Amino acid sequence: MDIISIQKDLKKNNISGELITLGNLFINEDILPEENQITQLTGFSGSYAILFITPAKSFLFVDGRYELQAKKEVNLRRTEIVKLSEISFTDWLKKNFSKNACRINYNPWTISINDLEKFSELLPKATFAPLSEPDKLLSSKKVKVFAHQKKFTGLIAKDKIALLTKHLKQQNLDAFLVTSAANVSWLLNLRSNALPYSPLLRAYALVEKNGNYKIFAEHTDYAGTLSFDNLKKILPQYQNIGADYTTAPAILKDINDKIKQCADIITDLKAVKNSTELKGIRNAHLRDGVALTKFMFWLSKNYKGKTETDIAEKLLSFRKKELNFFSESFATIAGFSKNAAVVHYHAPKTCSALLKKNNILLVDSGGQYYDGTTDVTRTFALGTPSPDMIEKNTLVLKAHIALASAVFPKNTAGNELDLIARQPLLKEGLDYEHGTGHGVGFFSNVHEGPARISIHAKKSAPLSAGMVTSIEPGYYKENAFGIRIENLYYVKNAKNPKFLSFDVLTLAPIDKKLINKHLLTADEINWLNRYHRQVFLSLKKYLTKQELEWLKEACAPI
């Protein structure tokens, strides 16, 4: 099916539009290329978008991370790019469809109950019609499932299920349907190779208040699982059942209209890491720091003649040598020169940019280890950077330090923290279009809720002690260069028990060639020197003599 064919069907059946989301029955989670309808229809390869097709035109909604990328990948004669930084999707719907009666098609497997209710309330005159033969958009790839061992998790599945059933009893529910693959994976201590970067078991779990449970999944080698088609005969057996409407697909409400909205407490439980998980996360970041430092030393000697894809492959080769490595946590972003200004740039396998002197290379990468998940961005000066590059990088560093140094009251929301990081840039009339931080899972999704540090999230959850989050301000000059400095941090209690602060996890030098120390305050210089000392002392015994000499210079005080 292509856009033109869809438009012909819409016109023939007098339908106003069709809503297509980027995903499958695991709403807002990673998908495989063969499951990606938006890429197949438009060519857009970013990780978030909404496509709305009318009989006359199609509209692709993207956020600030993907505005430049979308313009390059999409046929702009057929599809109009709508910037979510200028108008929300709901406001656009209201503007274009609220006045008259209309009919809008959607796939009930790929839109949540929550979103469907929101759209229906927004457009009371509209009829939202589910597709007659909706596709789950689930790959038929055979999946290998494996246990995530207690030495990594700290808790066995039985203990985790007990936490959930206690909640069910408090909510007077007989059962709860867990529809988040990340939450099912955490709850049952199961993982799989279904996805290239997130080691999730893509399954639903129906948990009864007595602790019994059923797993719904397809194409796995795990014994006892039921196919998703079994939901149609099993769910109606429950009169008092809950599900989280934000991740439960709308079709479930059609199967059993008695399903009640009940927040999935697993989201909060898995966000707060236990002592075993935290120990593993620190160890994973130590090993990841060793791999990154070995890569940085190699890069300093060998970048000439290398391409962006060479860089990504070389960094992966260093990570693969580390204990407990499973996979990358996302496809490495290695952007040189103007490509670094594309926030989520991915180099083409052929004809990727050749690295040259006197410009910037941005590398955003991470690893999945059995004992933790990492995500780090470093910006490197190849040769001699321009004064503009140095100034902008120093401002981004100031932004990073501002938030990393912050002490803040408990129950502070992520959107409130975001402005702390932006201040050094805003004072110079600069800004960036993406959020400043996201929660990070434990051998799970590299983007994990509920933590989110972003002014774009109007009601983001407060940070809690035990969460892991990124801090990643940036600056992007279109067709010139891009800068981002990202570390992961553990949220901890401050000296005063009423407050929280950040404790760094990422261990990798920050390029001093891109820093103008005269733009830094004494406190900022002290922060950088303390951080670099911690990096050096943590990594020094794992390096060769040559690597150690390089690291000693990279971490020397400024």
The DSSP string of 192-248 is: ESSSSS--B---EEEEETTS-EEEE-SSB--TT-B-GGGHHHHGGG-SSEEE-TTTS
C-alpha dist (Å) from residue 370 to 37, 513, 515: 31, 35, 35
* Paired strand residues for 205: 178, 215
Q: Which of 204, 238, 264 lies at the terminal end of a domain, its last residue?
A: 264
Considering the domain architecture, whether residues 406 and 463 belong to the same structural domain is answered as yes
> Smallest Cα–Cα separation from 342: which of 481, 194, 438, 446?
481
Burial class for 192, CB neighbours closer than 10 Å (0-12, 13-18, 19+): buried
How far apart CA 403 and CA 469 sit, in angstroms, is: 12
Same domain, 290 and 255: no
Q: Do residue 88 and residue 156 come from a single domain? A: no
Residue 438 and residue 376 share a domain? yes
| Last residue in a domain, options 264, 299, 328 | 264
Looking at residue 450, which CATH number applies to its domain? 3.90.230.10
Q: Is the pLDDT of residue 459 over 80?
A: no
Does residue 259 contact residue 253 with C-beta atoms inside 8 Å?
Answer: yes
Alpha helices by DSSP H, 405-495: 414-426
Q: Name the nearest CA neighbour of 483 among 432, 439, 528, 529.
A: 432
Residues 495 and 412 in one domain: yes
Mean pLDDT of 90-110: 95
Joined together, the tokens standing for residue 255 give: 């199967």
Q: What is the pLDDT of residues 350-384, one digit of tens each?
A: 889 999 999 999 999 999 999 999 999 999 999 99
Residue 15 has what pLDDT?
97
DSSP character at residue 124: T
Name beta bridge partners: 444.
none
Indicate whether 174 and 112 sit together in one domain: no
Give the pLDDT score at 229: 97
CB atoms within 10 A of CB 515: 20
H or E segment at 270?
Answer: helix 266-271
**Mean pLDDT score, 146-150:** 98
Q: Give the integer Cα–Cα distance in Å for 440 and 452.
A: 10
**Same structural domain for residues 389 and 299?**
yes
**pLDDT confidence of 388, banded at 50, 70, 90?**
very high
In a domain, 123, yes or no: yes
pLDDT value of residue 489: 98
Question: pTM (2 decimals)?
Answer: 0.96
Confidence of residue 344 (pLDDT cuts 50, 70, 90): confident
Q: What is the mean pLDDT of residues 452-463?
A: 88
| Helix (H) / strand (E) containing 293 | helix 275-302
Task: Supply the range of the domain harboring residue 314.
Answer: 272-524
Checking if the pLDDT of 136 tops 80, the result is yes
Residue 358 belongs to some domain of the structure = yes
Pairing relationship of beta strands 175-178 and 79-83 according to DSSP bridges: unpaired
Do 252 and 280 fall into the same domain?
no
- pLDDT average, residue stretch 409-432: 96
313 and 422 co-located in one domain:
yes
Q: Are residues 73 and 112 in the same domain?
A: yes
Residue 516 pLDDT level (bands cut at 50, 70, 90) = very high
Q: What is the pLDDT of residue 143?
A: 98
Q: What CATH number is associated with residue 111?
A: 3.40.350.10
- Mean pLDDT throughout 476-488? 97
Does any domain span residue 140? no
What number is the average pLDDT over the span 499-515?
Answer: 98
pLDDT band, residue 305 (cuts 50/70/90): very high
207 and 77 within one domain: no
Calculate what percentage of the chain has a pLDDT beyond 90: 96
Per-chain mean pLDDT for the chain:
97
Total domains present in the chain: 3
| Residue (of 325, 512, 131) closest to 315 by Cα position | 325
The Cα 409–Cα 403 span in angstroms is 14
Q: Is residue 469 part of a domain?
A: yes
Q: Is the pLDDT of residue 1 over 90?
A: no
Instruction: Determine, yes or no, domain membership for 312.
Output: yes
C-alpha dist (Å) from residue 482 to 334, 401, 477: 11, 19, 6
Q: Per residue in 269-296, pLDDT tens?
A: 999 999 999 999 999 999 999 999 999 9
On the question of pLDDT at 64 being above 90, the answer is no
Asked whether residue 500 falls in the same domain as residue 396, the answer is yes
Please check whether residue 405 lies inside any domain of the structure. yes
343: CB partners within 8 A, 6+ apart: 64, 65, 66, 68, 69, 433, 434, 474, 476, 482
Percent of the chain's residues with pLDDT above 70 = 100
Residue 554 lies in a domain: no
Quick check: is 550 in a domain?
Answer: no
Average pLDDT over every residue of 225-240: 97
pLDDT at 348 over 80: yes
Among the three residues 74, 106, 130, which one is the final residue of a domain in this structure?
130
